[in-house]
Amino acid sequence: MAVSEGSFKESRLEVAGATIQMRTAGEGRPLLLLHGELGFPGWMNYHKTLSASRKVYAPSHPGYDESQGIDWMMQVRDLAGWYLEALDDMDLDDIDLIGFSFGGWIAAEMAVMDPSKFRNLALVAPTGVKPDEGEIYDIFLNLAPDYLKEAIHDSNSCAEFELICPEEPSPEMLELWEIGREQSCKLGWKPYMYSLSLKHLLHRLKNLNTLIVWGREDKIVPIDSGRIYQESIPGSVMQVMENVGHRPEIENPDEFSKLITTFLDSK
Amino acid sequence: MFIGHFTERPYQDPDSGYFGATGLPIKDLSLSNEIYDPILGSALYNRYLDEKVYAEEMGFDGLMLNEHHSTPFCMGGAMNVEASILARITKKAKIVLLGNILPIWDDPLWLVEQLAMIDMISKGRLVSGWVRGTGRESVSHNAPPAYNWERFQEAHDFIVKAWSEPGPFRWEGKHYQYRYVNPWMRPYQKPHPQIMLPGVVSRDSIVWAAKQRIPYIMLATQLEPTRQSFQVYHDTAKEEGYEAGSQNFGYLWKVHVDETEELAEEVARKFVQGPSNPFLAGNEGTANPALLKLPGLTSRRRVLPTANVATANRGGQLSRSFEEQVEDYTIISGTPKTVIPKIRHVLEYLRPGSVFFWDGDGAMTHDDQMRSLRLMGEEVIPAVREIADELELRSPFEVSPKTGEPIGETSEEAAVPTGD
């Protein structure tokens, strides 16, 4: 089913005690996409492709974009627990879950808490574990546009770069970035962008079909974090995409979407 | 009128050209301490303590210290250490800490204890200010900036309770939890030392200070935005049902006095030549834009009229020339004869009950500072007291900022003898 550009539905969803921004598109098996540390990036090519064959849910996490913040949420695990309740309220079960970067960390925490709720899990360059080699790039000590430039391996040949990081961002975009940074700071300042316990809990995902995707040129989250995820999750597969950085879904949406679709269709 | 002396205690390294304008750049988080010379550091710490002792001799009411981290423009990374020494080696002057950076303390019981000790050793001379700190403080001590304001408020409430109520008690807060709060030390002053809130940027902070009836000290910004910011305090006070007065306001700015006009200008130019705080008006240095935008550190909407002055990214340039700063009184320098009328103008314009003369900074030498302190004591301070009396500018130690009433011999706030 072809989906034309922009054909997604945006709504305010009251769920698990908060009102959040939700975007949905397509029909079929539910696929939940969890955005990264700056908030929802906009409706991108990969959203369009993925929603052609399934029902995509793309929320803004509480405290991001225009979603209501939740005062008690001080760790990523708190947010993950909230999301499980939100899925209950939405009657979503046996779903596919993809998390990007910081959203990958949230996804991993959710899956660890309740693996039975998910059919497939894909983690795209997730934060959440401390790499043995290298350090996670400090987004709080860099301005959002500088971070985004660092996240993309080759912005000149990246068609969607201008969408996620315009030369002259609008005041609204600047504000949304700051909102995202502030909320990520509340959840991930210390230890910076990882949990000391998550990697020991990942073994719970032994029966969950799990794919780990990394860009070979990732300068934000060291690829060594991917190795640790892969080694900690029995049966998981790691796919490294060449010539892309931290945002493979933006830099090479065709290859990325194909990889994900193949993975999701395999089970 | 309460008259305090302040210098930021810069790490002056003649070999580097002093950092800042005339030497190595001091952009935040960009300078390795590999080049730090502890021999030089030792001399400077002792020099600055000596100057404080002399400032007391020359009649200053307050010896003000501040704290910054990981930067050469301020050596007071552990300000309470300096305060502890002053508590023992000075006699009369109040030791004014503006201030401890509450949100960066994961265990504010240390502050309860340290400050109570300083208050006892000094026999009740501690004035305990709080600040929220700039980005470099949050980064240096790895305190989450997005919780800065919440932690500030909770730490304040906790410290005041621990000072003023008998222990043991429990504290089960959002950011701080203790099961046994019972420090074996109590502040000398009852119910606790005078608290002050210095600031520049945040509207939340000045409103909070007004609600708590805590004196607000504006740090080194231009006069008109300072007056506008004070108005926020006045307006909040009205909403709270009281009239704020001079006891609720303080102002810190650059004042240098010297023997001749020529020498005064030559030395005052050093304010903008050495290591200096890029956050305050007119100083050199490059603010790190990421630090200015540390997530959640300050509300992006609730800022004061002075905020632009403080947070402009100057790119290593003076935002305004020395001459412009002299023109609008941001820097006052001269002989006592020319300085006193200018100070009068500031007092008339802002009506503060506390002033802090910021001197001996940048590339100024010890001798520069000592000459100025002497002339301050001989001529400027007595004159400023007269002007303040004429203008009825009362300090928070004369009129209670809590009640607006004069502090008499029998009132609680005056119950503590100061010094010997």
Kindly determine whether residue B142 and residue A175, on different chains, have CB atoms separated by under 8 Å: no
For residue A21, the distance in angstroms to the closest alpha carbon of chain B comes to 21
CATH code: domain of residue A219: 3.40.50.1820
Residues 190-219 of A with CB under 8 A from B: 190
Q: What number is the ipTM of this complex?
A: 0.94
Residue B419 lies in a domain: no
Given phi > 0 = left and psi -120 to 50 = alpha, else beta, which region is B327?
alpha
| Predicted local confidence at residue A63, as pLDDT | 97
> Is the pLDDT reported for residue B277 higher than 70?
no
Lookup: tokens for B371: 């000459």
Residue B22 lies in a domain: yes
Residue A1 lies in a domain: no
> In tens digits, what is the pLDDT along chain A, a chain of 267 residues?
334 455 899 999 999 999 999 999 999 999 999 999 999 999 999 999 999 999 999 999 999 999 999 999 999 999 999 999 999 999 999 999 999 999 999 999 999 999 999 999 999 999 999 999 999 999 999 999 999 999 999 999 999 999 999 999 999 999 999 999 999 999 999 999 999 999 999 999 999 999 999 999 999 999 999 999 999 999 999 999 999 999 999 999 999 999 999 999 998
Lookup: tokens for B339: 């300085």
- When CB atoms are compared, the residue of A146, A175, A182 closest to B295 is A182
A237 CB within 8 Å of a chain B CB: no
- Is the CB of residue B200 less than 8 Å from the CB of residue B310? yes
pTM here is 0.94
- When CB atoms are compared, the residue of A142, A178, A189 closest to B144 is A189
pLDDT tens per residue across span B280-311: 544 555 677 888 789 998 887 788 888 766 55
Residue A44 lies in a domain: yes
**Which of B38, B84, B22 is CA-nearest to residue B362?**
B22
> Is the pLDDT reported for residue B317 higher than 60?
no
- When CB atoms are compared, the residue of B146, B290, B291 closest to A186 is B146
Residue A247 lies in a domain: yes
Residue B90 lies in a domain: yes
| Predicted local confidence at residue B21, as pLDDT | 61
Nearest chain B residue to A139 by CA: give it: B290
**Which of B370, B392, B372 is CA-nearest to residue B380?**
B372
A53 CB within 8 Å of a chain B CB: no
* Residues in B touching A183 (Cβ below 8 Å): 146
Residue B245 lies in a domain: yes
Average pLDDT rounded to a whole number, residues B121-147: 96
- Count Cβ atoms within 10 A of the Cβ of residue B39 and give its class: 0-12 exposed, 13-18 middle, 19 or more buried: exposed
* Residues in B touching A185 (Cβ below 8 Å): 144-146, 295-296
Chain B residues contacting A via beta carbons under 8 Å: 29, 139, 142, 144-147, 289-291, 293-296, 300
> Is the pLDDT reported for residue B38 higher than 90?
yes
Kindly determine whether residue A141 and residue B289, on different chains, have CB atoms separated by under 8 Å: no
Q: Which domain holds residue A223?
A: 9-265
Residue B387 lies in a domain: yes
Which strand (E) or helix (H) includes residue B140?
A: helix B135-140
Residue A227 lies in a domain: yes
Q: Which domain holds residue B85?
A: 2-414
Total domains present in chain B: 1
How far is residue B33's CA from residue B47's CA, in Å, rounded to a whole number? 21
Lookup: tokens for B51: 């100057």
How far is residue A242's CA from residue B21's CA, in Å, rounded to a whole number? 46
How many residues comprise chain B? 420
First-residue to last-residue Cα distance in chain B: 22
Given phi > 0 = left and psi -120 to 50 = alpha, else beta, which region is B9?
left
* Residues in A touching B29 (Cβ below 8 Å): 141
- Is the CB of residue B8 less than 8 Å from the CB of residue B74? yes
| Predicted local confidence at residue B316, as pLDDT | 44
Residue A2 lies in a domain: no
| Predicted local confidence at residue B18, as pLDDT | 62
CATH code: domain of residue B105: 3.20.20.30
DSSP class of residue B4 equals E
How far is residue B170's CA from residue B46's CA, in Å, rounded to a whole number? 41
pLDDT tens per residue across span B405-417: 999 754 455 445 4
Total domains present in chain A: 1
How far is residue B355's CA from residue B130's CA, in Å, rounded to a whole number? 17
* Residues in B touching A182 (Cβ below 8 Å): 146, 295-296
DSSP class of residue A41 equals -
Kindly determine whether residue B296 and residue A190, on different chains, have CB atoms separated by under 8 Å: no
What band does B319 get if pLDDT is binned at 50, 70 and 90?
A: low
| Predicted local confidence at residue B202, as pLDDT | 87
Q: How far is CA A24 from the centre of its chain?
A: 16
- When CB atoms are compared, the residue of A141, A178, A184 closest to B139 is A141
Angle of helix B336-350 relative to helix B381-390, nearest 10 degrees?
Answer: 30
Kindly determine whether residue A186 and residue B290, on different chains, have CB atoms separated by under 8 Å: no
Residue B373 lies in a domain: yes
